[in-house]
Structure 1
Amino acid sequence: MTGQPRIVVTGVSGRMGRMLVQVINESDDARLAGALERSGHDWIGRDLGAMLGGAETGVIVGDDAGAVLADADVVIDFTSPAASVGFAQDAAKAGVVHVVGTTGLSDADIATIDGAGRDTVIVRAGNMSLGVNLLMTLVKQVAEALDPAWDIEVIEAHHRHKVDAPSGTALMLGQAAADGRGVALDDVSDRGRDGITGARTPGDIGFSAIRGGDIIGEHDVLFATEGEQIVLRHRATDRALFARGALRAALWGHGQPPGAYDMVDVLGLTRSG
């Protein structure tokens, strides 16, 4: 495929939706072709540019995914699990690339979304930044190198409006640690401590979540044993980095064969193990 891919943004009135629109409009490599919002939203049927406080652009906000995707090459989706499952089916029917940054997905949601890769390109990631995906590689390497006497804790912080915990990125990092140790994350995950919990279970991978203010995203992976600690850290200071990563995924996915991919594929990182 050649030419600028035509991109649709879902949840266009939200924080990520607005940022995606800005990043796409600033790009010379893609163009915004459509915008989606939930049925009943005040923006439905109105010009997106005007709704964002600028000049009219001719892009009208719609709520019929099938109709909007008919004239698109890619849909970028940072919405909700239920919405993303529906968009995966819509994207597969329309034959457009589906870039999914939604978090809080269940195993069943993931299976359904990735299953759409039989018919189209799915690029799904809990975090689309280069730094986080490099951090995942480091976490796996460190976990593989250290013996089980080292406790592992994933500590994450986000803004007060985030509705899921642990974050999708925290779970990605926990999975990387579990992969490094050669264990199933579900078997060793410790996600809640309150009251008299008893001593930490050896080999567990713990998760701690902080919510407050306007924190964009901070993730620490702590490796701790008697007498020493290792901390691997990533801090996001600009939400645009996630939008830029999603656009990079969209451009990469445009022209790829059908399949379920992630940011390791997009960024060309070595997939070890």
Structure 2
Amino acid sequence: MPVKIAIAGASGRMGHMLIEAVLAAPDCVLHTALDRTGGEALGQDATAFLGRQSGVRITDDLGALAGADVLIDFTRPEGTLAHLARCRALGVNMIIGTTGFDEAGRAAIQAASDEIAIVSAYNMSVGVNLVFKLLEVAARVLNQGYDVEIVEMHHKHKVDAPSGTAIAMGEAVARAWDEELKHLATWSREGITGERQPGTIGFAALRGGDVIGDHTVVFAGPGERVEITHKASNRTIYAQGSLRAAQFLAGRRSGHFTMQDVLGLN
């Protein structure tokens, strides 16, 4: 049986990518297309942007989630948490690519995973999640005498910084050092900062143009520098990763998973 997919933010750029990916996947079917209340696309066919008809209308009625196997959500924290509550009530699994949650939001996701199965990730790209694993290996080897700096760049419309992916990269390094990122992170620098403190992880966020997502982690040591970089040139990588996650969740009733679990990297 094909996996019945619901998509949040169906009229946005990521929503369109997800819809196209679902239509192209023989083992998935589009079940529900959600958009925000007041959105111009409400009532339209979800595939109208492709010049075709799917029979699925874009709606703001969360009751339309009933019967779906999984909701894929790349919206905003407040919207995702509202969707989470309804999915929990209806027994619909979730794939969460939304970033920018505070501690309360993350706790809500964890609590919901007792009743539904959830894959949440800062980045759904298969390549990025491979990079996370490479960073753990590099951090274990380059754990003395190397300074770590993380530089990311995104389009000018991104509203949070640093990116969720950059934070996850920092967490991968910190985890390899048996530390917590919050104890190591230097989020910004300005003015007379003094010398760099050993063992810290620096972040720099660049915003401009239409950059989808570039991330580089620099291990700078005496006489050499190791850089691990991922560059996204198309949002389809997030859609394809999300569908792999949807297949992973098929038949699961509860649990909180990451893309590392989906890809068998844990």
TM class by shorter chain equals over 0.9
Structure 1: how far apart are the matches of 2:181 and 2:60?
A: 38
Q: Which residue of 1 aligns with 2:25?
A: 27
Q: Which residue of 2 aligns with 1:241?
A: 237
Query: Retained in 1: the 8 A contact 2:110–2:256?
Result: yes
- Residue 40, structure 1, aligned to residue 43, structure 2: no
* Superposed CA offset, 1:85-142 (max 9, x none): 1111111111111000001122221111121111111110011112111111111111
Q: Which residue of 1 aligns with 2:250?
A: 254
- RMSD (Å) for aligned C-alpha atoms: 1.2
Structure 2: how far apart are the matches of 1:129 and 1:208?
A: 21
Structure 2: how far apart are the matches of 1:219 and 1:19?
A: 21
C-alpha displacement of 1:53: 5.0
Structure 2: how far apart are the matches of 1:166 and 1:185?
A: 13
> Aligned partner of 2:56: which letter?
V
> Aligned partner of 1:119: which letter?
E
Counting matched residue pairs gives 266
Structure 1: how far apart are the matches of 2:138 and 2:212?
A: 26
Secondary structure of the corresponding residue to residue 39 of structure 1? coil
* Aligned counterparts, 1:221-236, within 5 A: 221-236=217-232
Q: Which residue of 2 aligns with 1:169?
A: 165
C-alpha displacement of 1:19: 0.4
- Residue 78, structure 1, aligned to residue 74, structure 2: yes
> Aligned partner of 2:111: which letter?
G
Q: Which residue of 1 aligns with 2:107?
A: 111
C-alpha displacement of 1:49: 2.5
> Aligned partner of 1:81: which letter?
P
Q: Which residue of 2 aligns with 1:54?
A: 51
Secondary structure of the corresponding residue to residue 118 of structure 1? coil
Q: Which residue of 2 aligns with 1:219?
A: 215
* Aligned counterparts, 1:127-146, within 5 A: 127-146=123-142
C-alpha displacement of 1:190: 0.5
> Aligned partner of 2:125: which letter?
S
> Aligned partner of 1:190: which letter?
T
Secondary structure of the corresponding residue to residue 240 of structure 2? helix
Structure 1: how far apart are the matches of 2:191 and 2:243?
A: 44
Structure 2 unmatched runs, 5+: none
TM-score (norm 1): 0.94
- Residue 193, structure 1, aligned to residue 189, structure 2: yes
Structure 1: how far apart are the matches of 2:143 and 2:235?
A: 36
Query: Retained in 2: the 8 A contact 1:124–1:262?
Result: yes
Secondary structure of the corresponding residue to residue 113 of structure 2? helix
> Aligned partner of 2:220: which letter?
A
Query: Retained in 2: the 8 A contact 1:115–1:260?
Result: no
Structure 2: how far apart are the matches of 1:138 and 1:265?
A: 15
TM-score (norm 2): 0.96
> Aligned partner of 2:35: which letter?
E
> Aligned partner of 2:72: which letter?
I
C-alpha displacement of 1:241: 0.6
Specify which of 169, 192, 205 is matched with residue 209 of structure 1.
205
Query: Retained in 1: the 8 A contact 2:124–2:241?
Result: yes
